[in-house]
Structure 1
Amino acid sequence: MSHTPSRRDLLRGLGLAVLAAGPLSACATGGGSAAKPSAAPSAAPTSAANPLGVQAASPLEVVVFSGGNGDGYATKLHEPLYGKAFPQAKIKHVATQKVGTQLRPRFISGDVPDVVNNSGPEALDLQSLVAEGHLADLTPLFDAPSPLDPAKKVRDTLVGGVYENSLIDGVPRVLQYTVAHRALWYNAALFARKGWTVPRTWAEFTALGEAAKKEGIALFAYPGQVGPFYQLWNLIYSAAKVGGNQVIVDIDNLADNAWKADAVLKAVTAWAQIQRDFGDKAYFGLDHTQTQIKHLQDKVLFYPCGSWLENEMAKDKPKGFEYAIAPIPAITAADALPYEAIMVGVSEAWFVGAKGKNPQGGLEYLRQMLSRDGARGYTEMTRNLTVVNGVVDGLDLTSAVRSAAKAQEAAGQNIITDARFEGWYKELFDHGAIQTNAVMSGRITPEQFCAAMQKKADAIKADPATAKQTRTV
Structure 2
Amino acid sequence: MSSIPDLGRRDLLKGAIAAGATLAAGAALSGCAMGGGSDDSGPKTAKGKRSADNPFGVVPNSSLELVWFKGGSPLYLADAVNPLFKRKFPKATLKQSSSERLSQTLQPRFVGGNPPDYVDNAGADALDFGALIQDGQVLDLTELYEAPSIDDPDKKVKDTLLPGAYENAITDGKPYALSYFTRAFGLWYNAQLFEKEGWEAPTTWDDFLALCKELKKAGITPYGFAGKNAADYHTTVLLASAAKIGGHEVITDIDNLEDGAWKSDAVIQAADAWAEIGAKYTSKSFKGLIHTEVQLRQNQGKLAFYPSGDWLESEQKEATTKDFTYAMMPVPSVTTADALPAHAIYATVGGGWTFIPAKAKNAPAALEYMRMIMSREGAQAFTKASGWLTTVQGGADGVELPPGMAAAQKAIDTAAKDNSLFETKIQTWYRPLSEETKGAVLQLMFEGGTGRQFAERMQKKADEIKKDSSVKKYKR
Tell me the TM-score normalised to structure 1 length.
0.93
CA distance in 2, matches of 1:365, 1:240: 37
SS at match of 2:187: strand
SS at match of 2:214: helix
Match of 1:272 in 2: 275
Give the partner amino acid of 2:7.
Answer: S
Which of 451, 454, 459 aligns to 2:464? It is: 459
Match of 2:473 in 1: 468
C-alpha spacing 1:195/1:23, structure 2 compared with 1 (3 Å): closer
1:68·1:308 contact (CA, 8 Å) conserved in 2? no
SS at match of 2:226: coil
Residue 403 (str. 1) matches residue 407 (str. 2) = yes
CA distance in 2, matches of 1:427, 1:183: 24
SS at match of 2:327: strand
Match of 2:25 in 1: 24
Structure 2: runs of 5 or more not aligned: 15-22
Which of 254, 258, 263 aligns to 1:260? It is: 263
CA distance in 2, matches of 1:432, 1:4: 12
CA deviation map 1:360-386 (0-9, x unaligned): 111111111011111111111111101
Match of 1:64 in 2: 68
CA distance in 1, matches of 2:13, 2:183: 15
CA distance in 1, matches of 2:12, 2:247: 27
2:185·2:310 contact (CA, 8 Å) conserved in 1? yes
Match of 2:17 in 1: none
1:143·1:154 contact (CA, 8 Å) conserved in 2? yes
CA distance in 1, matches of 2:290, 2:438: 13
Residue 195 (str. 1) matches residue 179 (str. 2) = no
Residue 422 (str. 1) matches residue 460 (str. 2) = no
Residue 106 (str. 1) matches residue 100 (str. 2) = no
Give the partner amino acid of 2:68.
Answer: V
C-alpha spacing 1:161/1:27, structure 2 compared with 1 (3 Å): farther
Which of 163, 170, 175 aligns to 2:178? It is: 175
**Percent sequence identity over aligned pairs:** 40
CA distance in 2, matches of 1:435, 1:52: 46
Which of 76, 82, 89 aligns to 1:79? It is: 82
Moved more, 386-395 or 266-275: 386-395
Match of 2:58 in 1: 54
SS at match of 1:320: coil
Which of 434, 439, 442 aligns to 1:437? It is: 442
CA distance in 2, matches of 1:38, 1:159: 30
Counterparts of 1:101-140 in structure 2 under 5 Å? 101-140=104-143
CA distance in 2, matches of 1:252, 1:356: 31
C-alpha spacing 1:12/1:67, structure 2 compared with 1 (3 Å): farther
Which of 225, 236, 239 aligns to 1:236? It is: 239
Residue 92 (str. 1) matches residue 72 (str. 2) = no
Residue 326 (str. 1) matches residue 329 (str. 2) = yes
CA deviation map 1:416-472 (0-9, x unaligned): 32101101000001111001100112343210110010010001000000011110x
Give the partner amino acid of 1:408.
Answer: I
SS at match of 1:71: helix
Give the partner amino acid of 2:48.
Answer: A
Match of 1:288 in 2: 291
SS at match of 2:317: coil
Match of 1:148 in 2: 151
CA distance in 2, matches of 1:39, 1:274: 51
SS at match of 2:55: coil
SS at match of 1:26: helix
C-alpha spacing 1:446/1:218, structure 2 compared with 1 (3 Å): same
CA distance in 1, matches of 2:222, 2:311: 21
CA distance in 1, matches of 2:229, 2:43: 40
1:240·1:416 contact (CA, 8 Å) conserved in 2? no
CA distance in 2, matches of 1:38, 1:366: 18
Shift of residue 9, structure 1, vs aligned partner:
3.9
SS at match of 1:28: helix
CA deviation map 1:192-249 (0-9, x unaligned): 1001111111111111112111111122111111101110111111110111111111
C-alpha spacing 1:39/1:393, structure 2 compared with 1 (3 Å): closer
Match of 2:453 in 1: 448
Shift of residue 25, structure 1, vs aligned partner:
5.0
Match of 2:162 in 1: 159
SS at match of 1:152: coil
SS at match of 1:27: helix
CA distance in 2, matches of 1:197, 1:39: 55
Shift of residue 12, structure 1, vs aligned partner:
8.4
CA deviation map 1:309-354 (0-9, x unaligned): 1111111111121111101111000001111111220355210111
Moved more, 81-90 or 448-457: 81-90
CA deviation map 1:63-97 (0-9, x unaligned): 111224251430x2212211222222111011111
CA deviation map 1:250-273 (0-9, x unaligned): 100000100011111111111111
Give the partner amino acid of 1:6.
Answer: L
Counterparts of 1:296-307 in structure 2 under 5 Å? 296-307=299-310
Give the partner amino acid of 1:107.
Answer: F
CA distance in 2, matches of 1:322, 1:41: 50
SS at match of 2:318: coil
SS at match of 2:103: helix
CA distance in 1, matches of 2:42, 2:379: 33
Computed over aligned residues only, the root mean square deviation of the Cα atoms, in angstroms, reads: 2.1
Shift of residue 4, structure 1, vs aligned partner:
5.5
Match of 1:317 in 2: 320
CA distance in 2, matches of 1:62, 1:308: 22
1:12·1:119 contact (CA, 8 Å) conserved in 2? no
SS at match of 2:353: strand
Give the partner amino acid of 1:28.
Answer: L
SS at match of 1:319: coil
C-alpha spacing 1:192/1:461, structure 2 compared with 1 (3 Å): same
SS at match of 1:122: coil
Match of 1:19 in 2: none
Tell me the TM-score normalised to structure 2 length.
0.92
Structure 1: runs of 5 or more not aligned: 14-21
Residue 377 (str. 1) matches residue 385 (str. 2) = no
